[in-house]
Amino acid sequence: MAVTWASVFRIALLLLLLAAIITACFTLRIEKILKDFLFWIEHNLGPWGPLVLAVAYIPLTVLAVPASVLTLGGGYLFGLPIGFIADSIGATIGATAAFLLGRTVSF
């Protein structure tokens, strides 16, 4: 089996991504950051809040960050129907992006 530059690049990219995730897990206080983010949405964005919540949900899903704080916060801030729709749209697009990223970078 020959080693190509594409396979070396994929492995290096995977290792870099894993190192970034592990470093973030040990150094960042993710729950506090998410709570501050929800506070900012509630007090500064008004009717644009659900859209920002859905867009913020996408990278959290791709990076496998537990988004339960955003899910519960979205339901609390915007009510059950709007919070559910915003969370569902963000989670679905994030899952699709994670799938496509996995298919693109897969070995």
DSSP string, the chain: ----HHHHHHHHHHHHHHHHHHHHHHH--HHHHHHHHHHHHHHHTGGGHHHHHHHHHHHHHHTT---HHHHHHHHHHH-HHHHHHHHHHHHHHHHHHHHHHHHHH--
**Contacts of residue 76, Cβ cutoff 8 Å, sequence gap at least 6:** 83
Residue at 65 is within a domain: yes
Residue 41 lies in a domain: yes
Query: In terms of residue numbers, what domain contains 79?
Result: 29-105
pLDDT at 75: 86
Mean pLDDT of the 2-20 span: 83
Give the per-residue pLDDT at 85: 93
Q: 89 lies in a domain?
A: yes
> Is 16 part of a structural domain of the chain?
no
Judge whether 22 lies within some domain: no
Please determine, for residue 107, whether its predicted confidence score (pLDDT) is greater than 70.
no
Look at residue 96 in the predicted model and tell me its pLDDT: 94
Whether 5 maps to a domain, the answer reads no
User: pLDDT tens digits for 12-66?
Assistant: 888 888 888 788 778 877 778 778 878 888 888 888 989 988 998 888 888 877 7
How many domains are there within the chain?
A: 1
